[in-house]
Amino acid sequence: MLNRRHLRIKILQVLFGFYQDEDRNPGRAQQALTHSTEKMQQLYLLLLDMVGSMQGLAIDRIEAGYKKKLPSQEDLHPNTKFVTNKPLRILASSKNLQKACEAHGVSWGNHQELLRSIFKGLLEHEEYTAYMESDERGFQVERESLIRMFRKHMVNVERFQDMLEEESIFWVDDLDLAASMAIKTIKTLKEGDDDVELLPLWRDDDDDKAFMEDLFTQTLALGEESEAMIQVAAKNWELERIATTDRILMKMALAEARTFESIPLKVTLNEYIELSKYYSTPKSHGFINGILDQLFAQLREEGKIKKVGRGLIE
């Protein structure tokens, strides 16, 4: 499920492309934003499908051992603990996951060799080895072991992360949240379940979706006014010398402060300062903090920022 910080990141990414484009087509930018959320859903499904695919690869490995001309004792009497892992079996046979993957065009079809490489690495990973050698049994043990294998190995394979970067400009930033959603999904599995219940991308009340659309629209609508304000506030700086990312973050913050009456100014300020630490220059957070403090005070005096709700009324 998308959270507001991640939505701010997506808007930042799309606006960065928008301001770099000479055409600056708002409609095309809006489509890019919608596309970026769809890619998030696809990555979530791809991760779950990756986990489920491990069972089929494990079965293939066992069958290949049986077919050897000179099978070893291990080939003839394989440890089937991983293959019979109940949460893994639920994912591997999930009709809900299969239907969702088909609906969103998600497939590992062109990356089967990468899947096999991930599985081969898993066989050598300490979490897999410890699980296979342990005498502990039970659904909870199987589920927690599977989650650890996913968290510590599968999503951290360098070739997999390289593939994500090649497939989508959004997926590198989406990976942490998509992985947390996949883990949350696995944690909901219970003994006796026939299928997995997938997480929705949006909450039922659609507040976050409206937040994304309104913040994006208002940042563009107030863009020229915000830029002029930033220029005055940063009087010792030429606008062209301010990092593009900093300018976009401040425009977003100003739009958010003016548009969303129930979001405290302190929350807005802190969010964009934190984003600047990851997406801009080392000194950006201090610069942005100073400019926004000044402009928020100015906008309050002009009556352009109004907050409603307990503890928010200015």
Q: So where are the chain's domains?
A: 4-187, 222-301
For residues 256 and 47, give the distance between their C-alpha atoms in angstroms, rounded to a whole number: 33
Element (H, E) at 73: helix 73-76
What tokens does 312 get? Answer: 């928010």
For residues 5 and 141, give the distance between their C-alpha atoms in angstroms, rounded to a whole number: 33
> What stretches in the chain show pLDDT beneath 70?
205, 238-240, 309-314
Q: Is 85 left (phi over 0), alpha (psi -120 to 50) or beta?
A: beta
- The Cα angle at residue 172 between residues 208 and 268, in degrees rounded to 5: 40
Other Cβ atoms within 10 Å of 221 Cβ, number: 13
CA distances from 292 to 96, 193, 267, 272 (A): 46, 51, 12, 10
Residues 281-313 as b/e (b if ≥16 CB within 10 A, e otherwise) read eeebbebbeebbeebbeebeeeeebebeeeeee
Model-wide pTM > 0.85: yes
pLDDT at 313 (0 to 100): 47
Residues 57-72 as b/e (b if ≥16 CB within 10 A, e otherwise) read bbeebeeeeeeeeeee
Does domain 222-301 fall under CATH 1.10.940.10? My reply is: yes
The whole-angstrom distance between residue 158's C-alpha and the CA centroid of its chain comes to: 17
pLDDT at 213 (0 to 100): 95
